[in-house]
Amino acid sequence: MPLVSMRQLLDEAAKGGYGVGAFNVNDMEQIQAIMMAAKETKSPVIVQASRGARQFAEDLYLFRLIQAAAELNPEIPIAMHQDHGNSFETCRSAIELGYTSVMMDGSLKEDGKTPSTFEENVEVTRRVVDYAHERGVTVEGEIGVLGGVEDGHGAGGSGLDHITDPDQAVEFAERTGVDALAIAIGTSHGAYKFTKKPDGSVLKMDVLIAIHKRLPNTHLVMHGSSSVPKDLQDIVNQYGGKLKQTWGVPVEEIQLGIKNGVRKINVDTDNRLAITGAIRKVFAESPEKFDPRDYLKPAREAMKKVVAQRMTEFGQAGHAGDYKPVSIEQIAKGYKDGSLSTRPLVAK
């Protein structure tokens, strides 16, 4: 199956009432882990690469691996997404490579650190939407600023510093025409999200629900949504790691989000923990081993397990065969003739 439009994938998820995990990749083993999980659970899937990942793996290596995944798994709809594009140029280069979706994170300036103004965000996102939609490519925007830093991207600080204002979210969606919208509701990137199990004082699910009520046709995206389960932290620490205890976003909160318009859930940290724990275990238990396959294979298996579990929890499992992929050219026509426009559908 060729790579599919993320918009189609999310529209189908909305119809089916489920969410789709978006898993970050940097190398072959991570891509294989995701595909093994998607195959096992029969899930459509979003694979995403940050700017850091594109640099680490080199664009062409990474993109060819995704193409291989699509070719080897014709029954699985796969969208390839640029995570946290910092500029029009980053998004343009992803689209030229063949990514079927891009995130223009205009909540920060091009340095990926300094919060931008609302007008700056609207302007750059609108420009990316025009360029991307003409080519049938999906666009995710961001309004409000997430906490933490990942891959050198982020404003740092607490997730509560720049919570999304629902009025601004509506104006932003109307003026940009984004397909999907990342909102800040208290989550942060990285492993250290919350210092205790999050409750309503730090995780603003009420803001998410308010935004969905006013923007029922814009797919909402939860970033920084690893659950950081204690068992994954424990394995890392048991074999010599030094992670401070931390709390992520509980799966039941994500499921509440999915009931209220969340269609894309970004997960990276949990997979990083699973991989690191598995590798540390081999190093600790079998220090005589030195063939990379001896630790990469269990690492890949550990990540596959986490991804398959999330796919089941988000509800995407079993939905891979629900629909036929629409070509990117057809999607481009839909944007042009207005049938895929999100803006006229905005609830006043």
Give me the least distance between CB of 225 and Zn ion, in Å please.
9
DSSP 338: T
Strands (E), the chain: 20-24, 45-49, 78-85, 101-104, 138-143, 180-183, 219-222, 262-267
Say how far apart CA 303 and CA 310 lie, in whole Å.
11
Residue nearest to Zn ion (CB): 223
Q: In 286-346, which residue ranges form alpha helices assigned H by DSSP?
A: 292-314, 328-336
Find tokens 């990117």 and name the residue: 328
Residues that bind Zn ion (CB under 5 A): 223
Say how far apart CA 10 and CA 89 lie, in whole Å.
25
Instruction: Report the b/e string of 102-112 with b at 16+ CB within 10 A.
Output: bbbbbbbbeeb
Nearest to Zn ion of 81, 223 (CB atom): 223
Give me the least distance between CB of 345 and Zn ion, in Å please.
25
CA angle 32, 219, 226 (to 5 degrees): 45
Give me the least distance between CB of 99 and Zn ion, in Å please.
16
Q: Considering 11, 83, 151, 270, which one is annotated as catalytic?
A: 83
| CB neighbour class for 23 (10 Å; exposed up to 12, middle 13-18, buried from 19) | buried
Do the beta carbons of residue 107 and residue 114 sit within 8 Å?
no
Give me the least distance between CB of 324 and Zn ion, in Å please.
30
Give me the least distance between CB of 222 and Zn ion, in Å please.
9
Whether 83 is a known active-site residue: answer yes
Catalytic residues: 83
